[in-house]
Amino acid sequence: MGSCENCRQIEAEKDARIRTLEQRQTEMEALLKFYEGQFKLSKARQFGPSSEKGDISEQIGLLFDEAENTADQTAPEPELEQITYTRRKRVGKREDDLSGLPVEVIEHTLPEEERVCPECEGPLHQMGHDSRKELAIIPAKVKIVEHRRAVYSCRNCEKNSDHVPIVKATTPRPMIKGSLASPSAVSHIMTQKYVMCAPLYRQAQDWKRQGVALSRQTMANWVIRCADDWLLPLYERLRKRLPQSVVLHADESTVQVLKEPGKPATSKSFMWLYRTSGDTNQHIVLFEYQPSRAGEHPRRFLEGFKGILHTDAYAGYNGLLDVTIVGCWAHMRRRFTNAQKVVSIDEKETSAAEAIKRIGWLFHLEGRWGNLTPKERYKRRLEESKPKAEAFFAWLGTLKVLPKSPMGKAVQYALEQKWRLMNVYLDGRAELSNNRAENAIRPFAVGRNYVLNISMCSRKRKFFNIAVSGYTMSA
């Protein structure tokens, strides 16, 4: 009996050990699959296309295998018939692209003494001409503009009076009194720095190559002073008009600021963006720098705004009073796109692919309703789009996915943001995505990756808000 009891105990220990090892193996396989997905996603972000329109592997295969895939060598050749017709000559895309440029015609003719027939030596006459076109670039030219103001006096008063009035001709107001700064020079420096992402030290080198000794310090002083004097009033006026809109978009992007009081250089600061939506004919796009991502910044900037605000999933916008937050379906779709990137090539029909397809239908419907009025769009959304959106979220609730997998995170994000995403169906002026804000802030983010390590004091911070916003508003 004792021996049998020992055998049963040993067998029980073996079974427990096997179950432990099987559970450990299952955990290791799940962990391995998770890391494989993260690795594939990292490679896709680094080397793959950034477009979210779908997997292009099928298009690549079609590019190389189209002839083989579509050819049928056993099929007879089709019979040919000749069709003759007349149509208006098409104007090529090149002519369309160049139609707005001035044209300089250079005539090339033979001298009189060379207009002799090579056969009979008789005189030649011009029967026509042929032509070709070139795109010529005229480099920027630097010159000095001297404003010479005439000063007038009265001859009669000079002879007969003890007071001689002096009258001067009017001249344009200088950008900066006692400076060489001109509107064209300052706007060129601002455009090169904040649009073309050329820092001031590179611009100083370019000025030097053109024979002008213009230092970084001088250019910085010009831009800061002109921003304070000329752009700040415009910025403040547009900032007062922005909250009067009914629909707005907001976004924020990180920026590194060097030598900022109270913050290390490696810490993150933020550039906030606020802009009008497609329901207005006069678009306003404003940037505001802030050292943090605290929710108090949008509450202060949008004080008095009551309407619809398109944002991403950041909770800092939740504290806005009398504001309806509308989520971004493009943000959500991006997560399912990332989940689809980590699957193997032979696993095309996945839940992620189905989610992308369902969301794509909603964007397809929005594209069809682009020319409708807000009331008509609101009605069509309730009839066609909203049932599809509700079915999409109901379908997500039935999925069985690992919580920490890319697909699990995408599903969790979508379900948590459902209340924001469905707010698009409350008003026909709302939009399905926050792409307007993302597109507006993208040039800044791209430039940040190259040159925007900014050294700021409090005055420079104000200047940066104005200078960047000033360009965006003019665009």
Measure the CA–CA gap between 461 and 359, rounded to whole angstroms. 40
Residue tagged 């190559």 (tokens): 209
Quick one: which of 238, 239, 267, 269 has its CA closest to 252?
269
Measure the CA–CA gap between 453 and 456, rounded to whole angstroms. 10
Burial of 472 (0-12, 13-18, 19+ CB in 10 A): buried
Orientation of helix 232-241 relative to helix 458-474, angle to 10°: 70
Where do the domains of the chain lie? 328-430
| Token code pair at residue 352 | 């992620």
Burial of 340 (0-12, 13-18, 19+ CB in 10 A): buried
Average pLDDT over residues 18-26: 83
Examine the pLDDT at 458 and tell me if it is beyond 60. no
- Beta-strand runs (E) in 114-160: 151-153
Residue 347 in 3-state DSSP?
coil
Q: What are phi and psi of 28, to 5 degrees?
A: -65, -40
- At 209-236, the pLDDT tens digits run 988 999 999 999 999 999 999 999 999 9
Measure the CA–CA gap between 317 and 295, rounded to whole angstroms. 6
Helices (H), 48-120: 57-70, 93-98
- At 229-283, the pLDDT tens digits run 999 999 999 999 999 999 999 999 988 777 778 888 778 889 999 999 988 888 9
End-to-end, the C-alpha distance of the chain in Å comes to 93
Orientation of helix 329-341 relative to helix 2-47, angle to 10°: 120
- Confidence at residue 44, expressed as pLDDT on a 0 to 100 scale: 65
- Confidence at residue 46, expressed as pLDDT on a 0 to 100 scale: 64
Quick one: which of 302, 275, 279, 286 has its CA closest to 234?
286
Query: For the chain, what percent of residues have pLDDT higher than 90?
Result: 46
pLDDT band at 423 (very low <50, low <70, confident <90, very high): very high
Quick one: which of 232, 229, 226 has its CA closest to 185?
226
Measure the CA–CA gap between 57 and 48, rounded to whole angstroms. 11
CB 151 within 8 A of CB 166: yes
| Token code pair at residue 270 | 């933020």
Quick one: which of 195, 288, 194, 277 has its CA closest to 239?
288
Q: Which of 149-153, 338-342, 446-450 has the highest mean pLDDT?
A: 149-153
Helices (H), 242-295: none
Measure the CA–CA gap between 388 and 379, rounded to whole angstroms. 14
- Confidence at residue 161, expressed as pLDDT on a 0 to 100 scale: 86
- Confidence at residue 416, expressed as pLDDT on a 0 to 100 scale: 95
Q: What are phi and psi of 52, to 5 degrees?
A: -105, 20
- At 169-180, the pLDDT tens digits run 999 999 999 899
